[in-house]
Amino acid sequence: MKSLKQLLAALAIVAALVWGDAPAAAERPNVLFIAVDDLRPELGAYSEDHMVTPHMDRLASEGRAFERHYVQAPSCGPSRYALLTGMHPTPAHPVSYANTAFRLYEESVGPLSLQQHFRDHGYHTTLIGKISHTPDGRRGGQDVRENREANEPEAPGWDVMDTPTGQWNDAWSAFFAYAFGETRTPGESPPVEAADVQDRGYPDAYLADAAIEHLVRRYASDEPFFLAVGFYKPHLPFNAPKKYWDLYDRDAIDISDVDPYVRTGGEFFGNYGHEASDTEDPAYVRELRHGYYASTSYVDAQIGRVLEAVDNLGMNENTIIVLWSDHGYHLGELGYWGKHTLHEHSLRVPFIIRAPDMPQPGAFTRALTATVDIYPTLAELCGLPLPDHLEGVSMAPLVEDPSAETVDRVYGGWSQGAQHTVRTDRWRLIENNGEARLYDHDTDPGEREDVAEERPEVVERLLEKLAAMPGQP
């Protein structure tokens, strides 16, 4: 059966060569897209040796890891909007850098989505977990849990949407899961939990189960697939089975880069049972970081199970695997706990592409890339045309050659105070209602010192860049 399939595929390739057609659907590579929520590039593969992340590390060692990949916005909704539309979520589009970005599709004026584009070219498309803003890709925020439009996708184009909810019964409860089927009580539940349970004591194991089940189903099909799996951890609460906490020695956790508390992160301090002043206690800071690390190792183990299934099914040779996070996180750096800033900590994420037979596997690229680039990249790698609305640039040349040239064109924004940012090879500029802050990455990778006054010519040049960014009115 398989050999007949291969023969037919080979004949199709010969036919395409003879008649010059684009590759037909049957021999296009599959895509396994893995999203991880709120994951900083704090992984072993990114030279963070204190982390226990063997499966993501292995993916990086076999693929192309991007050292400087940036999201468009430091929040789930707008960042994932950039992923699935290939556009900057600027107010001019007209969406905003807020979690409401996907409402464009409710008004039926959204652009051709990434998954719909793949579907239109013969791919079978599946969503599991959090790929758009909500934890199952269906419309309805956590505040309207009772009245969700249960059958409507936030962004169209999925053949199958299948998010298991395990012991938690609905997706939002699973997203904020505590062990034994419990869920978050806003403002009261603790921000961490280390229940002595197996992997299925928390929801991400169920998401991995579903991904493996769908890989098996796709194995029996001739259609290429686009399978998107969106894991929940290490998003708050930092809950994971105890065995993943046991991978770390809390006393050895480095907190030297934690600054005295200066601002409230509303999601962090408002939604959980603690006070901002608690983060002045080094023991508490270590516990919080410990929880984030345990959650990261737990999700790494679930990713490992999915990667093993791809391997066991013999799909490696015709499957492109992508790993991405929707934004980073401040674990106390610059006095902030949370993600809603335009600093490097919030906007820089791990990003890995592993393509069959790619040259120089394991070599990092330092090119500046952004989430709007993912749509054109996957389209190019799979031989699909590039829709006109795309604002990003394909990263396919960097898959071929990690030292390929790129240009300074990484923009971001955030709805609070209408802030915008541009990141170039050396600088980050953050503009907020006419006030500009400037950080020099040659000397200050932690963005601790604003040098806007010392370098007015750089500020002027970068403000011009910002004014010209895509999606400006």
So which residues are the catalytic ones?
76, 133
Q: According to CB under 5 A, which one of 31, 33, 36, 38 is a site residue for Ca ion?
A: 38
Closest to Ca ion by CB, 326 vs 447, is: 326
- Residue 145 contacts residue 113 (beta carbons within 8 Å): no
Name the nearest CA neighbour of 302 among 178, 184, 217, 201.
201
How many CB atoms are closer than 10 A to CB 49? 6
Closest to Ca ion by CB, 38 vs 42, is: 38
Q: How far apart are CB 99 and Ca ion at their closest, in Å?
A: 10
128 binds Ca ion (CB under 5 A): no
Q: According to CB under 5 A, which one of 30, 35, 37, 69 is a site residue for Ca ion?
A: 37
DSSP state of 450: -
What percent of the residues of the chain are helix, what percent strand, and what percent coil, each to the nearest 5?
Answer: 35, 20, 45
Q: How far apart are CB 327 and Ca ion at their closest, in Å?
A: 6
Which ranges of 39-187 does DSSP label H, i.e. alpha helix?
Answer: 54-62, 76-85, 103-106, 114-120, 171-175
Q: How far apart are CB 114 and Ca ion at their closest, in Å?
A: 18
Residues 320-349 contacting Ca ion, CB under 5 A: 326
* Cα(28)–Cα(425) distance, integer angstroms: 35
Q: How far apart are CB 110 and Ca ion at their closest, in Å?
A: 20
- Residue 60 contacts residue 362 (beta carbons within 8 Å): yes
User: Maximum CA pair distance of the chain?
Assistant: 70
391 binds Ca ion (CB under 5 A): no
Closest to Ca ion by CB, 131 vs 381, is: 131
β-bridge mates for residue 386, sequence order: none
Closest to Ca ion by CB, 81 vs 439, is: 81
Q: How far apart are CB 70 and Ca ion at their closest, in Å?
A: 14
Residue linked to tokens 């009772």: 146
Residues 432-461 contacting Ca ion, CB under 5 A: none
131 binds Ca ion (CB under 5 A): no
82 binds Ca ion (CB under 5 A): no
β-bridge mates for residue 364, sequence order: none
193 binds Ca ion (CB under 5 A): no
* Binding residues vs Ca ion (CB under 5 A): 37-38, 76, 326
